[in-house]
Structure formats: C-alpha cells, structure tokens
Structure 1
Amino acid sequence: MPDDPSQVSDLEKNRILVDWLEYQLRQAKNRVRELEVQEAQERRQRERARAERSWKIQPQRAGRPAMLHRGGCTLAAGANGLINREEALIALEEPDIEACDVCRPETGLLSG
C-alpha cells in the first residue's frame, strides 16, 4: 500500500473494505454464538429452578406403588411433567402413592 492514501486504487480500497466487513461479520457471528450459549445456560437454570419448586409422580410399576418425588429427583424414572404444591399435597394423601425416601418430597410440602 502506498504511503499517500490518495494513491490507493479503488480496487484496493474495496478490498480493504471487504476485509474490514468480513472481520466485523466474524465478530458479530462470534457474539451471536456467545449469546446463544448464554441464553441456553440461563434457560437450563430456569428449568432446574422450576423443577426444584415442583414435584413429579412416578407411575406404579412391577408391583411397586407410585412415588412422589421432588421435581429435580433423578430417581423419578418414567415421571412425566411437573405438578404444583397443591397437587403434590393431594398425591401424598392418596393411599397408593408413597413419598420417595431419597428426595423426601414431603419435607418441602409440609413445611410450606
């Protein structure tokens, strides 16, 4: 590139502009990826927090009674969806639903 900017051809100016715009596009794409990762992490945190404030009912199977779990209990295999506090209180009163011995869902229910 010449020392005098007035000696730069239109072609060279446009190549420089293209390089600059490609750099800006890479920066913008990187920022979008960062924000997508951040948004996904925040969504997972919100889902975990919601699960911890909720409960699940694991269906009865193989002669075992149905089980009430905290929403985040990993032992709640086969449990679909989360239920609220009122529904969990009702479930605890059912004779064919037991509370999980590991996550102790009644602790959060009966003290609330």
Structure 2
Amino acid sequence: MSEQDREPTPLEKNRALAEWLEFQLRQVRGRIRELEVQEQQERQRREAAHAALRWKIQPQRSNAQALLHRGDCSLYAMDGGFINREDAMIALAEPDIHPCEICRPETGLTS
C-alpha cells in the first residue's frame, strides 16, 4: 500500500481539522475587524450629522469677540455645551456675539 492510498491517522485528521478551524477563525476575526471599522465610521458619521444640527458659542477673549459656530465647525473645538436652534437664534440676535465667517451659523437660522 502506497503512502497516498493509506487512510489518514486520527492524529493527522485532527491536525488537518485544527488547521481548517484556525483558518476559519482568522477569517471570522478579519470580518469582525472590518465590521468594527464600519461601525466606528457609522458612529462618527452620525455624530458629525448630529453636530451639524447644533451650535456652539466661543466665549469672548481679550483679543477676540464672542462667536457663534455650527456644532461641526472645526475652528472652535469643545466637548459638550452645544446649544439648540432656538438658543442659537437668540445668541445671533445678541450684539456682542458674531457669527463665524467660516461656518456661517446664521445660514438656515434666519429665514
């Protein structure tokens, strides 16, 4: 009986099975990483869309005036403290708060 014609031993069968299962596990872990990246990107997209519907006020500094920004404006970064549309309209009416000339937060507020 030749080497090719013989039945694999239980040890050989289990080694082959282990290799197959390790391959499958690598495939699943790769898919999990892809899904995690997609989920993170979707979360960031939702957060950016939500920030675009909010506003923020940059306080007045000694060398700069107070500014109203859109929530997604990158010129003034902050965590939390966003205001809603109604409060943004009130802030825009204040004489000492000016709209950011880059993100133009007044667009859509005054209509």
2:4 is aligned with 1:2: yes
Change (3 A) 1:62 1:3: farther
Q: SS of 2:29's equivalent? A: helix
1:45 maps onto 2:45 in alignment: yes
Once the two structures are superposed, residues 15-71 of structure 1 have per-residue CA deviations (whole angstroms, 9 ceiling, x without a partner) of 011001100110010000000110111111111111212111111112422100111
C-alpha separation between the residues in 1 aligned to 2:63 and 2:12?
79
Contact 1:58 1:68 in 2 (8 A): yes
Q: Is the 1:70–1:103 contact (alpha carbons within 8 Å) kept by the matching residues of 2? A: yes
Please say which of residues 51-60 and 14-23 is displaced more in the overlay: 51-60
Q: Secondary structure at the match of 2:72?
A: coil
CA RMSD of aligned residues (A): 1.7
Q: Gaps spanning 5+ residues in structure 1: where? A: none
After superposition, the Cα gap between the structure-2 partners of 1:12 and 1:60, relative to the gap in structure 1 and judged at 3 Å, is same
TM-score of the two chains, using structure 2 as the length reference: 0.86
The runs of at least 4 consecutive aligned structure 1 residues that moved more than 6 Å come to: none
Amino acid at match of 1:36: E
Q: Which amino acid in 2 is paired with 1:14?
A: N
Structure 1 residue 103 corresponds to structure 2 residue 103: yes
Aligned residues, how many? 108
Counterpart amino acid of residue 48 in structure 1: A
TM-score, normalised via structure 1 length: 0.85
Percent identity for Structure 1 against Structure 2: 61
